[in-house]
Amino acid sequence: MPLTIRRAVPADLDAVVAIAHLTFPLACPPDAPAEEIAAHLANVLTREAFAAWLADDDHIILLAELDDADAAAAADDAAPETVGYTMLVAGEPTDADVAAAITVRPTIELSKCYVHPGHHGAGIAHELMAATVTAARESGVAGVWLGVNDENARANRFYGKHGFEVVGRKTFRLGSRVENDYVREKALI
Ligand SMILES: CC(C)(COP(=O)(O)OP(=O)(O)OC[C@H]1O[C@@H](n2cnc3c(N)ncnc32)[C@H](O)[C@@H]1OP(=O)(O)O)[C@@H](O)C(=O)NCCC(=O)NCCS
């Protein structure tokens, strides 16, 4: 599989925003209102926010890209297809529930982990997670934590498979709704 995983740079802004907006709704509970999801995209996952994160050393965004060999042969400038991304955020958690739950420090948050729905179950998420854990390790932390909606069975199964144990719970605000997340942690030592 011609899959490349690399750290995103500011010039990747369009690709990062596109994959983020395509995939965020997939992580929401089935009963989350479409208008709340749209508001989150418009107010939180903005171009400006991603531009700032891409320019900040404490945010590590990895892109998974698939090369289409046929398209590349037909056109010199055929761009790879962005099929997933992750974002790590360095620093002590600001959420009190998370700070109380995690057991390993220093830590880093796996804040985003998303694969294009056309490529689920194909091993891309596995490769992306492996590269993300390597990037976390290289940043010098002893553990990685994440929050995941407690109704997101697929993601919970995926994180469990990759060694992220449930260590607590937290809430997540989606517009006017308060969603319930598991806090999961993977020790790197
Ligand atoms: C989470 C995500 C990155 C995982 O990638 P993936 O390619 O789906 O991962 P995998 O197929 O390797 O693993 C998913 C596991 O859940 C299982 N699964 C699939 N649907 C499921 C369901 N409805 N309930 C429970 N488990 C389910 C799969 O069988 C697989 O387990 P297995 O390998 O033991 O068979 C991807 O599904 C995704 O992008 N989801 C949408 C965005 C999201 O929810 N991100 C997480 C935000 S915290």
For the domain that residue 70 is a member of, what is the CATH number?
A: 3.40.630.30
Q: Which pTM was predicted? A: 0.95
DSSP string, 109-178: EEEEEEE-GGGTTSSHHHHHHHHHHHHHHHTT-SEEEEEEETT-HHHHHHHHHTT-EEEEEEEEEETTEE
Hey, whose CA ends up nearest to atom 45 of ligand 1? 114
Count of the separate structural domains present in the chain? 1
Q: Establish whether residue 131 lines the binding site of ligand 1, counting it when its CB lies within 6 angstroms of any ligand atom.
A: no
- Decide: helix, strand or coil at residue 179: strand
Element spanning 71, H or E = helix 69-74
Q: What is the pLDDT of residue 78?
A: 73
CB contact set of 139 (below 8 Å; sequence gap of 6+): 60, 88, 90, 108
Order of strands, sheet of 107-115, starting from the edge strand that comes earlier in the sequence = 3-7, 59-66, 81-90, 107-115, 143-149, 177-187, 165-174
Taking the centre of ligand 1 as the mean of its atom positions, its distance from the CA of residue 171, in whole angstroms, is 21
Intervals of the chain under pLDDT 70: 1, 69-77
Q: What is the pLDDT of residue 75?
A: 66
Q: What is the pLDDT of residue 68?
A: 76
What is the spatial distance between Cα 63 and Cα 43, in angstroms, rounded to a whole number? 23
Mutate to test the pocket of ligand 1, among 98, 111, 154, 181 (most ligand atoms within 8 A of CB): 154
Residue 152, domain extent: 3-187
